[in-house]
Amino acid sequence: MSGHDSKYFSTTKKGEIPELKEELNSQYKDKRKDAVKKVIAAMTVGKDVSSLFTDVVNCMQTENLELKKLVYLYLINYAKSQPDLAILAVNTFVKDSQDPNPLIRALAVRTMGCIRVDKITEYLCDPLQRCLKDDDPYVRKTAAICVAKLYDINAELVEDRGFLEALKDLISDNNPMVVANAVAALAEIQESSVRPIFEITSHTLTKLLTALNECTEWGQVFILDSLSRYKATDARDAENIVERVTPRLQHANCAVVLSAVKIILLQMELITSTDVVRNLCKKMAPPLVTLLSAEPEIQYVALRNINLIVQKRPTILAHEIKVFFCKYNDPIYVKMEKLEIMIKLASDRNIDQVLLEFKEYATEVDVDFVRKAVRAIGRCAIKLDRAAERCISVLLELIKIKVNYVVQEAIIVIKDIFRRYPNTYESIIATLCESLDNLDEPEAKASMIWIIGEYAERIDNADELLESFLETFPEEPALVQLQLLTATVKLFLKKPTEGPQQMIQAVLNNATVETDNPDLRDRAYIYWRLLSTDPEAAKDVVLAEKPVISDDSNQLDPSLLDELLANISTLSSVYHKPPEAFVSRVKAAPRADDEEFADAGETGYSESPSQGVDGSSPSSSAGTSSHVPAKQPAAAAPAAPAPIPDLLGDLMGLDNALVPVDEPTATSGPPLPVVLPSTTGQGLQISAQLVRRDGQIFYDISFENGTQGVLDGFMIQFNKNTFGLAAGGPLQVPPLQPGDSSRTLLPMVFSQNVSTGAPNSLLQVAVKNNQQPVWYFNDKGSLHVFFGEDGKMERTSFLEAWKSLPDDNEFSKEFPNSVINSIDATIEHLSASNVFFIAKRRNANMDVLYLSAKIPRGIPFLIELTAAVGVPGAKCAVKTPNREYVPLFFEAMEPLIK
């Protein structure tokens, strides 16, 4: 719509919908075009114009490109709510995908990919296959992105129709933008797949590096991000990649620069030549510095990335510390980041100019920034031995300014300096003691008290100083009380005179009788017991030599740092968290021919060997098993976090203890599904199922002894799983005589062994007894077992939650074999499984039920169930903030709908 089309938003006529309907069916082209613009305007401001669906679709048959775009926009918005009517547009889409105009061909395919309606998806395949091989590169690049959208809707269809191979072929396309879009589509598909889809080979590498020079800036970003996942074969290969990527450092787009920096940093790990590494470091400095002349928001992102880079390669910016000096008009978030980087780049060579900057910052008006600047001086003192004295001199100068919060922050950092350099700078204690009356912050008080207690023998009036704090002991925060208790004990041990004796008695009495803080009370009792039984032992404990501290407050773990560097120019490098910490991805369900791969990966034994000692693999489907001798050690079991009983040979690498046999508890109920047949279990048959009773989850498990001897000593262990299910009590199975069986309910607990990766319903179990090897089997639990009793929502809350969730979080599925014979019976049946009724309405001849359910971690499901009573077929739509649970949800709902 052009800039003159604002008039379409200002209509206030009565009976607007009938008027629009009439105009849409006008015989005049211009009138129809104006009517569609009015419809789009109404749709944009939130009015419901879905009743005009058929009339708008009739306007599709036009040669006017602008009108066609508007109609397609309307279709994308309303096709999901009118799926049956959306089919009316299919013929036009198919016809447009063969139009002589490449813009119309691309528009048709793009729109079909955006309409997430299953029935339309079926018709998309043939046009998409044609467009992927179209003569026009604009159509090909549009079709490439459409494949990624189609994969999100129906992954199996994409694989069956050979679209992935077609995408890979496009990497060799002679148009760089087609290559870039094919790479972007493959990368997106890879993120939602459990199988390796997109792997860069040496042949592909050459194609991508060639396309890199000619495509647009965002195409370059896609290609660079994909290249960052390529593992170079040797130093020469790495140098070749770096040489081709280095020109991108001069690009005007910040994202391109950061992506290029990411690749160079990753490849530098393989480059052995120190001269090459030194030259690369020199080349990376100017573009990184240039990023700091951009807007504050871009500066912040650049600084967060630079923060990571200087931790790995400080030499890159070692000579550029001045560019990180704060300007008066920098936003506070930029100043804080610059401060952190300055601390990391501080060295004996530049410490003087750094301290001058910090000292100036400590006199500014922003209190938070001043505090951070004072702390930065202390951290430099801890980091640089030879500069410590100069840092302390600056801190003492700041204390003399007598600004309350500056003094208190200085005392806090001086305490850390004393811990870093014991018995070195105690001469300044007298200066610190002059500021005692100004202390009102808990951390500053605690630091000063620590200094007095630690150096009590060198402070003549230490008892008087501590006594001034003790007057307000009951009102002090826990941090100060704990420090006062310890300092008073230190004073007593160093000066066991009458004054400290009375003080220690008063403090211990206060800390044990008049406090509700368990930490304080426990520490006081320990000190009391030590002092009353063995004062010398108390000295060894309380006055023991303390480990020297170092400045590691902002240093990341090396493995985490490497992971973050591999994600430079993404949110991960801004948050300083790995992607899985804040992004939940929906992984496509593995297909039947991928089961072997899936069992060894996402859905297999998490962090455990994929094979037993005898070479047999853990089972890949429920009802099958493998075994290993119980006394043989696992060949490749990972190191457990702590020593645990070797009851199952720790074959799963878990650290939850196994539970022994206790008195049996009999249970009864319908037959259980067999998970370990007797033919596989050498005569032992195990049947089991997860069940929910009275708000508690149990593992209903039955053992049948078909062997010739007695079986006893049954134990069980669960591998890591989506909900962290583990045994919550003893496995109560009595000794089984030949021909006997026993059934028991094993209580389960949550969040004990939580697995990573996409949620799945697989439960992997190991069982052993005294007479047989370890048996492994897989069981599938249904998500409805986890539906909680707290899942019912009020109507208003349901409506607000439904509106607040984006349309992308809505999914639907048809259940063609489900028949609802009675609405009331269905509601009652669903309620028994904790799927609660909210409201219902009639839509034509269909009943629409609104229901809610909730699983652990407070994850809600808002459900819309549509069906005609007595007619086969039901449609279930669900909205949830956690889309990765949707496949499990539909799997659980199908047997419940009847």
Tens digit of each residue's pLDDT (9 = 90 or more) over 614-641:
333 333 333 334 343 333 333 333 433 3
Rounded to whole angstroms, how far apart are CA atoms 526 and 853? 50
Q: State residue 684's pLDDT score.
A: 92
Please tell me which residue, 854 or 93, carries the higher pLDDT value. Answer: 854
683 in the Ramachandran plot: left (φ > 0), alpha (ψ -120 to 50) or beta?
left
Mean model confidence pLDDT for the chain: 81
785 pLDDT above the threshold of 80: yes
Q: State residue 138's pLDDT score.
A: 92
Question: Rounded to the nearest 10 degrees, how much is the dihedral formed by the CA atoms of 492, 494, 496, 502?
Answer: -20
Alpha-carbon dihedral sign for residues 187, 188, 191, 196: negative
Tokens 């959306």 identify what position? 86
304 pLDDT above the threshold of 90: yes
Confidence of residue 435 (pLDDT cuts 50, 70, 90): confident
Give CA separation, 858 vs 728, 753, 882, in Å.
21, 19, 10
Q: State residue 641's pLDDT score.
A: 39
Least confident of 346-360, 380-394, 546-560, 844-858: 546-560
**What average pLDDT score do residues 278-289 get?**
90
663 pLDDT above the threshold of 80: no
Q: State residue 10's pLDDT score.
A: 56
Q: State residue 162's pLDDT score.
A: 87
Confidence of residue 863 (pLDDT cuts 50, 70, 90): very high
Least confident of 446-450, 560-564, 605-609, 802-806: 605-609
652 pLDDT above the threshold of 80: no
749 pLDDT above the threshold of 70: yes
Contact 186, 143 (CB under 8 A): no
Q: What pTM, to 2 d.p., does this model score?
A: 0.61
Contact 115, 79 (CB under 8 A): yes
* Interhelix angle 442-454/462-470, nearest 10 degrees: 150
Alpha-carbon dihedral sign for residues 751, 753, 756, 761: negative
Tokens of residue 325, six digits: 């000096």
Please tell me which residue, 331 or 619, carries the higher pLDDT value. Answer: 331
Rounded to whole angstroms, how far apart are CA atoms 755 and 723? 8
3 pLDDT above the threshold of 80: no
Tokens of residue 101, six digits: 């105009």
Q: State residue 553's pLDDT score.
A: 57
Percent of the chain surpassing pLDDT 70: 88
Rounded to whole angstroms, how far apart are CA atoms 873 and 327? 67
Percent of the chain surpassing pLDDT 90: 16
Q: State residue 630's pLDDT score.
A: 38
Confidence of residue 593 (pLDDT cuts 50, 70, 90): very low
13 pLDDT above the threshold of 70: no
8 pLDDT above the threshold of 60: no
Q: State residue 402's pLDDT score.
A: 83
Q: State residue 93's pLDDT score.
A: 81
Phi first, then psi: give them for residue 679, nearest 5 degrees.
-65, -30
**What average pLDDT score do residues 444-459 get?**
88
Rounded to whole angstroms, how far apart are CA atoms 748 and 44? 50
Least confident of 203-207, 387-391, 703-707, 742-746: 203-207
Rounded to whole angstroms, how far apart are CA atoms 719 and 615? 19
Buried residues in 154-165 as b, exposed as e (16+ CB within 10 A): bbebbbebebbe
Q: In what order do the strands lie in the sheet with 762-768?
A: 625-628, 774-780, 762-768, 715-718
Confidence of residue 596 (pLDDT cuts 50, 70, 90): very low
662 pLDDT above the threshold of 50: no
CA-nearest of 718, 735, 570, 728 to 655 is 718
Least confident of 389-398, 578-587, 602-611: 602-611
191-240: pLDDT as tens digits? 877 778 888 888 888 888 888 888 888 888 989 988 888 888 888 888 88
SS3 letters across 576-593: CCCHHHCCCCCCCCCCHH
826 pLDDT above the threshold of 50: yes
300 pLDDT above the threshold of 90: yes
Tokens 């980041």 identify what position? 337
Confidence of residue 703 (pLDDT cuts 50, 70, 90): very high
Confidence of residue 341 (pLDDT cuts 50, 70, 90): very high
From the CB of residue 319, how many other CB atoms can be counted at a distance below 10 Å?
12
| Gyration radius of the chain's alpha carbons | 35
Give, as one character, the DSSP assignment of residue 192: T
Buried residues in 382-392 as b, exposed as e (16+ CB within 10 A): bbbeebbebbb
Distance in Å from the first CA to the final CA of the chain: 49
